[in-house]
Amino acid sequence: MGSGEAGDGMTLGDIVAGNAVRFPDVAAYRHGDRSISHGQLRDRAVRLISAMAAAGVRRQDRIAVLSRNSIEFGELNAAIHLSGIIMATINFRLSPGEIDGMLCRVVPSIIFVADEFVTMIVGLVDDLPSPPLVVAIGCELQPGVVGYEAFLNSGRGDELEFVAQPEDIAYLLFTSGTTGASKCCILGQREMRAVALTMNNEMHCGSADRGLINMPMFHVGALAIVGGLHARGGTVVLQQQFDAADAVRLVATEQITVLHLAPVMLKALLDEVAEGAAVESVRTVVYSAAPMTAAVLRRAMSVIPGAGFLNLYGQTEAIVSGLPRELHALDGPEVEKRLSSVGFPFPGTRIRIVDEHGQEVPAGQAGEIVVRSGSMFRGYWQDGAATEVTLRDGWCHTGDVGRLDERGLLYLVDRKKDVIISGGENVYSPEVEDALSAIDGVAACAVVGVPDDRWGEAVCAVIVPWAGATLTLEALQDGVRQRLARYKVPRRMVLVAQLPVLASGKVDKKQLRAALAD
């Protein structure tokens, strides 16, 4: 019902059902000129479940969703929460070959697909071991494809065909693949309800809150914030994809109180707000997916003065920690250091920093971040070998390098596979990126290692310059050398118009390394 502990035997479906009783007329989702209340959301989800049951789907069977953010996506989300049907979310930005590979791994009984992707999906489903029913979200139909509204209206709305259980799998979510091939994470009803309650507590949301969601709903970050908003009857306002000018417009017209943005999105939004847009309604800004420089944070706090800020750290496998609003104060001791952290572990979460042998290291020393919590993933779908590597003795090995200070604040140092080893020394890319970001003329940057005959790997800076700025490698090197050790100074610079970004908002360093190797 949006309250209680995650281990109390309740499910995500209890949130949907509870909101329908407590907040029946409050909007659950808004998109454009369309709106659906919490009461309507539950009713339409029940009809969807009935229609899926008539098509042969049972509890813990799998469906897939390939769509941009939409109210229909939200209705399907509510349906799997209530029923215990499993949803596999598919990244619509991927190539047909990549999507085909994902569908072959999860083998859904039904694929719900936005009309813009129907032609592609129809061409792929025959490759599956058991061709699924294709349901089109929208009005562009083809032979053998069922329309979403017709499918929903074929279901009964009187009672649930089956009811979700706490131990049920809720989602199969594919990782963003920042360090290799995408893996398929198993996330359960119990775990995702714990995530929803944690996010609600951190954001302090109620039924009067409206959150703008522009990260794609196939991503765990968006699902976590949606869950947090809905945990106590809030409203989700959808953007199909991020557009800074449109986001600022929606903040004003929809009276948005909660924003969730990757740092690159927040920078773009701040540029729009600087033109005089009204953002007084915003009281919480959640940022995640990548490090944020203290300079950008200071600017954000100045431009949106009425908001509290919350930094989230996690991955598809585990939501780990957060730097809460009270620790975003711009006064007090060690401000810059505090703002560079990713906060304290969430309640019920334990964090250890370990060396390559799995031994815990002292405070202040860098090592791999390992996590144990009630909201962790259960393993990788049909991949026991990868599961054994990541889940060991009840701990999730994140593949991230970090350190804990004496207070227990966590600092994210780098991805293990993004650490640059140059001349035998470890170079952590975020600290070089912070140094570069402080140099005049640098709008955005990413640092990766490139093969080097002498050093093994050389530090390479990929820079997006400000319009009209003139940057040289020598100037960048001088700027970094003033802040960091000599071996951390970039030996190569590449200027680009923009950085490749994953759906999660993270810079795609795998793509950068591949491009630089060509």
Beta strands in 255-390 (DSSP E): 258-261, 284-287, 308-315, 318-323, 344-345, 350-354, 367-372, 379-380
Record the pTM. Answer: 0.85
Grade residue 223 by pLDDT with cuts at 50, 70 and 90: very high
Res. 44: pLDDT tops 70: yes
Give the H or E element holding residue 300.
Answer: helix 294-303
Grade residue 3 by pLDDT with cuts at 50, 70 and 90: very low
Q: Give the pLDDT confidence score for residue 181 in this predicted structure.
A: 67
Res. 235: pLDDT tops 70: yes
Least confident of 73-87, 339-353, 404-418: 404-418
Res. 333: pLDDT tops 90: no
Q: Give the pLDDT confidence score for residue 489 in this predicted structure.
A: 94
Q: Give the pLDDT confidence score for residue 2 in this predicted structure.
A: 38
Res. 199: pLDDT tops 90: yes
Average pLDDT along the chain: 91
| 14 vs 140 pLDDT, higher one | 14
What is the DSSP pairing of strand 34-37 with strand 235-238? Answer: unpaired
Q: What is the mean pLDDT of residues 386-399?
A: 95
- Under 8 Å between Cβ of 494 and 476: no
pLDDT, tens only, 173-193: 998 754 556 899 999 999 999
Q: Give the pLDDT confidence score for residue 290 in this predicted structure.
A: 64
Res. 423: pLDDT tops 90: no
Dihedral pair phi/psi, residue 267, rounded to 5° = -60, -45
Percent of the chain with pLDDT over 90: 70
Does residue 29 sit in helix, strand or coil?
A: strand
**DSSP notation for 219-271:** SHHHHHHHHHHHTTT-EEEE-SS--HHHHHHHHHHTT--EEEE-HHHHHHHHH
Distances in whole angstroms, Cα of residue 184 to Cα of each of 108, 272, 323, 383, 442:
14, 37, 28, 8, 36
pLDDT, tens only, 104-138: 999 999 999 999 999 999 999 887 888 999 999 98
Q: What domains appear along the chain, each with residue ranges and CATH number?
A: 12-20+32-191 (3.40.50.980), 317-415 (2.30.38.10), 419-516 (3.30.300.30)
pLDDT, tens only, 24-39: 999 999 999 999 999 9
